[in-house]
Every structure is written in structure tokens, then in C-alpha cells.
Amino acid sequence: MVNTILIISMFIIGISFLLVTVRFLLGTSVVDRVVALDVLTISSVGLIVLLAHFFHRGIYIDVSIVYAILSFIGVIIIAKYLEKSL
């Protein structure tokens, strides 16, 4: 019961990955691509925590914390570069 619902939610996150990847390849400006990358990272943080449930490893949550911090710093740096203040 529980594992079935979690597998269904993993599939839904996979479908949203495909949709966001379409916007990432198709996006008309740089900011579009950066927003798509941000959404990909945030949803993959949730996906890594789901994998931690399926593999029974608590250490994967640390991986997702580091991934969230790196994505935040990356987006801030790209935005500062676009604003020509870096």
C-alpha cells in the first residue's frame, strides 16, 4: 500500500522532469533555462529523499542537503552575472 503510492509519486515526478526538460531545451532566453534548472534541482531533492526511503539509507538526505545548497549558490551567481554586477 505505502510503497505503491510512493512508486506512483515517483512516476509523477518523472513525468514532470520530462516536461521541465522540454522547457529547458526550448526556452527562448537564458532566464528561462535557469528557471527550468532551478525547478529540476528542487524536484530532484524530493526524488533523492524518496530514493533514501526505498534503499533504507539515511545518508542520502545529507546528499540532498548539499545539492540544495549548491543549486541555491549557482542560481544566485548566474543572476548576479546577468545583472552585470559580478
Partner 1 sequence: MPYLVSLALLLLQNTLKKAYSMEALQIAGALLTLLGSLFILFAAIGLLRMPDVYNRIQAGTKASTLGSILTLLGIGLCHPEWLLKIGLLILFVIISNPVSSHVLGRAAHFAGIPLSKRTHIDTLKEYRDKELTVKEEQQ
Write the DSSP symbol of residue 56.
T
| 16 part of the interface to partner 1, by CB under 8 A | yes
Q: Within positions 43 to 82, which residues make up the interface with partner 1, using CB under 8 A? A: 43, 45-46, 49-50, 52-53, 58, 61-62, 64-65, 68-69, 72, 75-76, 79-80, 82
Chain centroid offset of residue 83 CA: 24
C-alpha cell read off for 62: 545529507
Determine the size of the site formed for partner 1 (CB under 8 A).
Answer: 47
CA-wise closest residue to 51 among 65, 37, 64: 64
User: Residue 44 — φ and ψ, nearest 5°?
Assistant: -75, -20
Is residue 33 within 8 Å of 27, Cβ to Cβ? yes
Applying CB under 8 A, which residues contact partner 1? 1-2, 5-6, 8-10, 12-13, 15-17, 19-20, 22-23, 29, 31-32, 34-36, 38-39, 42-43, 45-46, 49-50, 52-53, 58, 61-62, 64-65, 68-69, 72, 75-76, 79-80, 82-84
